[in-house]
Structure 1
Amino acid sequence: MPVRVVTRDDVVIIGVQGRLDAVTAPAFDREVESVLADTPTKVLIDGTGLDYISSAGLRSILALAKKLQAGGGRLALCGLSGLVREIFEMAGLHTMLTICRDEAEARSRL
């Protein structure tokens, strides 16, 4: 599961590809910890290349959202495929997280 991190303007964009599951979530968490070390206030997860997310991946996303919120930051997600978006909806997370169609919409909502 490759993770790509870039900063554009004041938004940290984390691009996730492949699967975010029990096997890959620890690597994702380590990458997120290094991103949070710089105390960003706006983080965007680009899930354009994300094929699947399990409960372990959902926990990682929620943990990130809580850490950001505790520090006054915000999180948005974009580019989620039909299956991945459906998993967020089935878990009820679409009501707790900012999920957008594309990067432009997500940036505007941060």
Structure 2
Amino acid sequence: MHIKDSKKDQATIVMIEGRLDSSNSGMLEKKITALLEAGETNFLFDFTAMDYISSAGLRVLLMAAKKSKANGGRVVLSALTENVKEVFDIAGFSSIFPIFATPGEALGSF
């Protein structure tokens, strides 16, 4: 898994490439925690290049959403692949997060 982050307008864009599972979810959690501590509150997760997400990855996203909301921000998701969307649907997370077809649409929601 590779994580890239950048700031655009009012949001921090976090792009995840590859698989997000128990072997690497801690890396994403540390990245999000560092961004929150630096004062970032709005996050756009771009899943264009993410192949797979496990329950450990879902847990990190839920943590990010809770902490972001507590600081007056929000988390939105974009460009879920078919496999990733299926996991979100089965886990019931599709109703928890705002999900957009493209990063541009997601960015426009802030």
Does the pair score TM above 0.5? yes
CA distance in 2, matches of 1:37, 1:7: 15
Which stretches in structure 1 are left out of the alignment for 5+ residues?
Answer: none
Aligned-pair identity in percent equals 35
User: Are residues 1:31 and 2:17 paired?
Assistant: no
Quick check: 1:65 aligned with 2:65?
yes
1:66-108 per-position Cα deviation (integer Å, ceiling 9, x unaligned): 0001111011010110000110011111111111100121112
5+ residue gaps, structure 2: none
Deviation at 1:41?
2.8
* Corresponding position of 2:77: 77
Across the aligned residues of Structure 1 and Structure 2, the Cα RMSD in angstroms comes to: 0.9
Hey, what does 1:90 align to over in structure 2? 90
Task: Quote the residue 1:4 is aligned against.
Answer: 4
Q: Which amino acid aligns with 2:109?
A: R
What is the DSSP-based 3-state SS (H/G/I as helix, E as strand, rest coil) of the residue aligned with 1:26? helix
In structure 2, C-alpha distance between the alignment counterparts of 1:108 and 1:9, rounded to whole Å: 9
- Who is 2:108 aligned against? 108
How far, CA to CA, are the matches of 1:31 and 1:38 in structure 2? Answer: 11
- How far residue 24 of structure 1 moved from its aligned partner, in angstroms, is 0.7
Count residues in correspondence.
110
* TM value normalised by structure 1: 0.96
Cα distance in 2 for residues equivalent to 1:105 and 1:91: 24
The one-letter code matched in structure 2 to 1:27 is: M
Residue 60 of structure 1, CA deviation: 0.4
